[in-house]
């Protein structure tokens, strides 16, 4: 039996860093994750440098920034950069490496260093890959029924799950990971990547979780004074209104209930994976990291989904559990240092004693080398957004209209008051703007002239049609027709 520590990364999609009971959330039920946090260390100042699925996962897998790995947008057909991945680095050190769930790379069957990937890619048939979850549904007699519930990957309509419980993708992903652990080579340590696609919509909780949250009144969205007038928002925020403008209070409560139900479902299923590790006598020698590629605004500040640097979108869960008696991680700890997704790879390599590749830009979260600032970037052109964070203060910049916002998270954790231009914060504003200007590249440098941000000319927002219902999926049996080379359907 190997004495080298095993590693389990649990990654979700769309999970805000505040959605834990242990973090003080008044409604969410997360008993398993709350106990994991007590078993190790929670990092409440953890952020996704680019809070959208593909760029974030490139950062996680390479330990590099968006500038290095090449995607700050959502490049669905961009190959992984020629950099060592976390999976390949562990394999080179003698580990077996397996993944189950969502990988979100191109081509989809690129294993990026894993020995094997049991794949679910949320119905992206246009990329010519066989999806293992859809094969499973076919074997169960439900071929093409994944989206028969009629809900959408990119909006917040919701209803209970429509197939038997064991056919839910959360259950399937859990079972696949448990089986990978059971089928391991006992002479080698294991690196396991468990990647749940929820609580990312479609919001289709199992009926039992829908019932659970019908008994619990969801918290109401908070709206900052700067966000009350939708027509006065920066252009980049205006362009997001098409899909959910006009939600009623009941629709918002319904979406939150369904979303929370998806989270609790994952929390409960995670117990099966932990139980498998325990029964295989691996738990005390396994390092666990729970995180998410980004969060979800869930109606806060009248916004939904991701691609934003407000807390609900950019601040992500980061729970780290060491092996038994490893005081580098400890237990019942909360570490307020500023961390990003680029830090996951060097942290796990550090804890296992595996050499960190020179290409890695992140820092170990258990060392003394903390960072004073974190830069974030998402998008290009009219919807581009940039962030500079010093651990307490956050500057968000929208180039169109030359709009900057400043928040003091220590005194205003919900970002209700924009402090830009306030004399008491002029020093902080100047410092963060200077730091931000030093990070700009790829044409963004033109936003600064003679040492001052000038941005881009403002634009008027004009709503357009939503003919595809924000990327609605259809029947997947027979398999949908493929698009031609260079003509890829945009489905996030």
Indicate which residue of 104, 198, 200, 268 is catalytic.
104
The span from the CA of 362 to the CA of 21, in Å, is: 29
CB 439 within 8 A of CB 337: no
Rounded-to-10 torsion of CA 54, 55, 58, 60: -100
Annotated catalytic residue 53 = yes
List, as one string, the DSSP characters of 326-345.
Answer: -TTT-SSEE----EEGGGHH
* Total count of residues recorded for the chain: 492
Place of tokens 């080398």: 369
Alpha-carbon torsion 369, 375, 379, 385, what sign? Answer: positive
The span from the CA of 83 to the CA of 13, in Å, is: 24
The span from the CA of 396 to the CA of 20, in Å, is: 25
At residue 320, the 3 state secondary structure works out as strand
Annotated catalytic residue 294 = no
- Token digits for 257? 């209930």
The span from the CA of 348 to the CA of 85, in Å, is: 12
The span from the CA of 320 to the CA of 34, in Å, is: 12
Indicate which residue of 53, 167, 197, 263 is catalytic.
53
Residues labelled catalytic = 53, 104
């Amino acid at each position: 039996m190997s004495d080298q520590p095993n590693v389990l990364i649990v990654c979700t999609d769309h999970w805000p860093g505040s959605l834990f009971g242990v973090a003080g959330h008044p409604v969410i039920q997360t008993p398993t994750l709350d106990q994991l946090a007590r078993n190790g260390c929670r990092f409440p100042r953890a952020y996704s440098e680019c809070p959208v699925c593909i760029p974030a996962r490139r950062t996680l897998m390479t330990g590099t920034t968006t500038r290095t790995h090449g995607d700050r947008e959502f490049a669905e057909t961009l190959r992984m950069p020629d950099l060592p991945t976390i999976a390949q680095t562990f394999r080179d050190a003698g580990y077996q490496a397996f993944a189950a769930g969502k990988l979100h790379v191109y081509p989809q069957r690129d294993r990026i260093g894993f020995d094997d990937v049991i794949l679910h890619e949320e119905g992206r048939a246009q990329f010519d890959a066989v999806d293992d979850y859809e094969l499973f549904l076919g074997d169960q007699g439900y071929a093409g029924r994944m989206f028969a519930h009629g809900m959408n990957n990119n909006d917040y309509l919701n209803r209970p799950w429509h197939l038997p419980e064991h056919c839910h993708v959360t259950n399937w992903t859990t079972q696949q990971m448990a089986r990978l652990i059971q089928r391991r080579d006992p002479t080698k340590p294991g690196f396991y990547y468990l990647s749940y696609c929820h609580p990312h919509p479609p919001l289709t909780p199992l009926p039992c979780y829908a019932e659970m949250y019908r008994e619990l009144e969801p918290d109401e969205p908070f709206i900052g004074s700067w966000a009350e007038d939708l027509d006065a928002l920066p252009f980049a925020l205006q362009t997001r209104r098409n899909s959910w403008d006009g939600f009623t209070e009941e629709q918002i409560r319904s979406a939150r209930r369904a979303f929370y139900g998806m989270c609790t479902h994952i929390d409960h299923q995670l117990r099966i994976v932990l139980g498998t590790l325990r029964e295989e006598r691996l738990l005390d020698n396994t390092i666990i990291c729970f995180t998410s590629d980004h969060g979800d605004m869930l109606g806060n500040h009248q916004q939904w989904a991701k691609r934003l640097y407000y807390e609900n979108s950019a601040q992500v869960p980061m729970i780290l559990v060491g092996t038994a008696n490893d005081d580098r991680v400890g237990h019942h700890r909360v570490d307020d240092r500023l961390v990003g997704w680029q830090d996951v790879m060097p942290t796990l390599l550090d804890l296992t004693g595996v050499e960190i590749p020179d290409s890695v830009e992140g820092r170990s979260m258990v060392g003394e080398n903390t960072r004073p600032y974190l830069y974030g970037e998402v998008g290009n052109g009219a919807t581009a957004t940039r962030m500079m964070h010093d651990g307490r203060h956050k500057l968000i910049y929208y180039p169109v209209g030359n709009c900057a916002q400043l928040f003091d998270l220590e005194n205003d954790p919900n970002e209700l008051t924009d402090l830009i231009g306030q004399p008491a914060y002029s020093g902080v504003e100047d410092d963060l703007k200077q730091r931000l200007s030093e990070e700009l590249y790829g044409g963004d440098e033109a936003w600064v002239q003679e040492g001052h941000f000038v941005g881009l000319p403002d634009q008027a927002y004009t709503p357009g049609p939503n003919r595809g219902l924000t990327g609605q999926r259809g029947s997947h049996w027979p398999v949908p027709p493929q698009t031609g080379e260079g003509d890829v359907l945009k489905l996030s």
